[in-house]
Amino acid sequence: MTSPSSSSELPPQPGPGRGPDRVVHIKAGLGGAGLLLGLVGMSVHRLGLVWGAVGCLGAAFLLRFVKAR
């Protein structure tokens, strides 16, 4: 029986790969703002806020295709 600290039983360590992209904070902010605008717009029946939410969420979606440099 081997001890759990032996190196042969440890899971493989992740290699150098893609880390989080640089625009992840922008995407998260736009997603959160879109969610908030959408909920507020629906609760107060303001179509302009709902369309603003659609714009924020659309921009967050389109930022998925921005290539990291």
pLDDT tens digits along 8-56:
677 766 656 566 677 889 999 999 999 999 999 999 999 999 999 999 9
Residue 55 belongs to domain spanning = 21-65
Q: Under a CB-based contact definition with an 8 Å cutoff, are residues 41 and 50 in contact?
A: yes
Give, as one character, the DSSP assignment of residue 5: T
In a domain, 3, yes or no: no
Q: Which residue type does 40 have?
A: V
22-26, long-range: CB within 8 Å, 24+ apart, which pairs? 22/68, 23/63, 23/66, 26/60, 26/63
Does the residue 11 lie in any domain? no
What's the confidence (pLDDT) of residue 36? 97
Does some domain include residue 8? no
Looking at the predicted structure, is the pLDDT value of residue 2 above 90? no
Assign 3-class secondary structure to 6-18: CHHHCCCCCCCCC
How many domains does one find in the chain? Answer: 1
In a domain, 7, yes or no: no
Asked if the model's pLDDT at residue 1 lies above 80, the reply is no
Q: Is residue 6 part of a domain?
A: no
Q: Is residue 5 part of a domain?
A: no
pLDDT score recorded for residue 11 = 74
Entry pTM? 0.66
In a domain, 15, yes or no: no
pLDDT at 61: 95
